[in-house]
Amino acid sequence: MPTPFLSSEEYDERAHQLYNEGQYDEALAVLREGLALYPNAVELHVGVGYARLAREEYAWARKSFEEALVLDPEHEDALAGLGETLLKFGQHAAALKSFRRILELGYRDDVELMLQVGRALFREGVIDDARDFFDIAVQQVPDSAEAVACVGYAQHRLGEDEKAVATLRRALQLDGDHSEARIYLGNILYDRGEYEAALYHLDRTTPDDHWDELGIWRLVELKKSVYRLADDDAELRPWDARLAELAGEENDIDEMLAEIEQRALDDAQNEARHQLELFGALLTDLAAKRDTSSHRVVRDGREFEGTWDEIVSEMRDAADAASGRSVAEFMLTEARRGQSITGVTIPTEDAESFIRGSADAGLLRIVQ
């Protein structure tokens, strides 16, 4: 039962704390309780919108933000939330209109809001506009390492690697403990073949700083090469442990489900084996018709040409041929890295889907 002893502001504060702790269901319950008592409390509607957004319930999030804007058409957080939700529906023009309204209302000096909007645009691949909001944040607080680093990320995504390197180095001058900027810079330098510089930065991070396997793999590779470390060297154990943690280990339930799935697959395969023989000739024809045409892709300023499979193989070799990773492992890692940067899910079931998904995420460009 709702308790009338709490004000709408107290409900909002309690829900905000739960939201920051990642307890979105609990936050939503508190907000609903508050709205039962204070149906016209704008902040509570906005809170519901962000809780719904965090739960990826985009239609409901949009409804809550729109309800908040009916009560207060100039509420900056509601405008930002609505814009972020519209991006999820692919309505970029409407989202930008909502974001620009925030600027018209004079909220340029709200640095956190500018960065929030910029990150939302960045995740959806709207990089030029994301950079505009990051630039505004830097104009307001030139000594903010976070704002400067965000500009660097956008520059890299726009293919301006020289500028990105300089910007990220400046961010680290402002805050040497900015691990995200250091990892990002280390990966750019690695891609450019500047391995000593890449090692310098990656080696100044801790395993817990990494949320993607790529930077760890590269650091381990460089440590082995430069410091002549064996695979089982004690210095590498924390990094191996973090890799295992990020990859995720199967629990008992996962293993049981995998066994059930495998048994069902085996039964299906046995039942269909004789039918496959009947269609052998047809499968051969289909294999012969596999796409062998040549395509051209530009990634990080480098051009790759060949079939889809050949292009992905070349990209793998260009990135880290010495790691011994398979093409499938490379696609999986790059898809995870791309999603962490852009928020876009990139398919990995085959080379063509991976390349087209990466292009949709803005990570590369298909020339032909």
Q: Is the pLDDT of residue 99 over 70?
A: yes
Beta carbons within 8 Å of 94's beta carbon, 6+ residues apart: 83, 86
Decide: 34 and 15 in contact? Cβ < 8 Å. Answer: yes
* 5-52 confidence digits (pLDDT tens): 789 999 999 999 999 999 999 999 999 999 999 999 999 999 999 999
Report the percentage of the chain scoring pLDDT > 70.
Answer: 85
Query: Is pLDDT above 70 for 306?
Result: yes
Mean pLDDT of 265-283: 52
Average pLDDT over all residues of the chain: 86
Highest mean pLDDT among 104-118, 210-224, 242-256: 104-118
Q: Which two tokens stand for residue 217?
A: 């793999």
**Residue 177 pLDDT > 50:** yes
Return the pLDDT at 188: 95
- pLDDT number for residue 340: 65
Topology, domain 1-107: 1.25.40
pLDDT of residue 182: 95
Domain boundaries, the chain: 1-107, 252-288, 295-366
